[in-house]
Amino acid sequence: MVIDFIFEGASDLIFLNSDNFKKTLESLNITTGRLISAGGYTKLPKEILTWTNSDYVFIITDSDNESCVATVIENRIKDIIKVEKNYKKKEEHIFIIAIRELESWFLSDKVAMKKMGINFNKNTEQQKDAKGIIIGLLNKNKKRKGKIGEELIANKFIEAGFSIENAAKNNNSAKYFLTQLEKVSIK
C-alpha cells in the first residue's frame, strides 16, 4: 500500500518524516510515496491534480476558523474545481482536516508534552491558535531568544517523541487520521 501525502507546510513535513510516524506506517504495511508540501491550502488543488500511481492520496489541511469539517472539504474541492473544472472527488483522495491547525495534534500528545516539561489540559480542538499556545508554553518554560516558528515547534515535539497514536487519544481529528490509515491498510 503506497500513500502520497499532500500538506500545507513545514510542520506537516517534519511530522510525516518523523521516525515515530514512519514506524506507524510500517506497522500498517504502508509505504510513503510522495511527500508534497503545497505551501499553504491555496496551492493544494494544483498538487492534488498531479497524483501519480500511489494507492491513496491523503490531503492534510487545517480547518483554521471553519468549525464544520464538511464545509472545509467542500471548500477545498471547490478550489480544485477552479483549477480543473472536470474534477470529481475520488475515493482514493482522503481529506484529513486538522481541527484549527496541525499544531493542535502536538498539544494533544500528553506524553511528549510531559517530556518537554509543559502542560496543557484544555480541549485542543477548541483552541483557535494552537501555535500561539505552544509558543507561550515554551517561552514560559525556558528563557528563549529569537522567534519560535512552526518548524521549531514541530522539531521540539518530534524530539520529545510525538506520536499520532498518543495525540489520537485526546484529539478527534488526529484519531480520524489514524483511523483512515488503519482502514486503507486493510483494503
Residues 21 and 37: their CA atoms lie apart, in Å, by 17
pLDDT in tens, 31-50: 999 888 877 666 665 666 66
Q: Walk me through the domains of the chain, giving residue ranges and CATH numbers.
A: 2-101+171-185 (3.40.50), 104-159 (no CATH)
Residues 18 and 92: their CA atoms lie apart, in Å, by 24
Per the document, the length of the chain is 187
The pTM is what?
0.88
Helix (H) or strand (E) holding 87: none
Asked if 141 and 118 count as a contact pair (C-beta separation under 8 A), the reply is: yes
pLDDT in tens, the chain (187 residues): 999 898 888 899 999 999 999 999 999 999 999 888 877 666 665 666 666 678 888 888 888 777 788 888 888 778 777 777 767 667 788 888 887 889 999 999 999 999 999 989 898 888 888 888 998 888 876 655 566 788 889 999 999 999 999 999 999 999 999 999 999 998 7
Residues 149 and 110: their CA atoms lie apart, in Å, by 21
In whole angstroms, what separates CA 119 from the centre of its chain? 21
Residues 155 and 138: their CA atoms lie apart, in Å, by 13
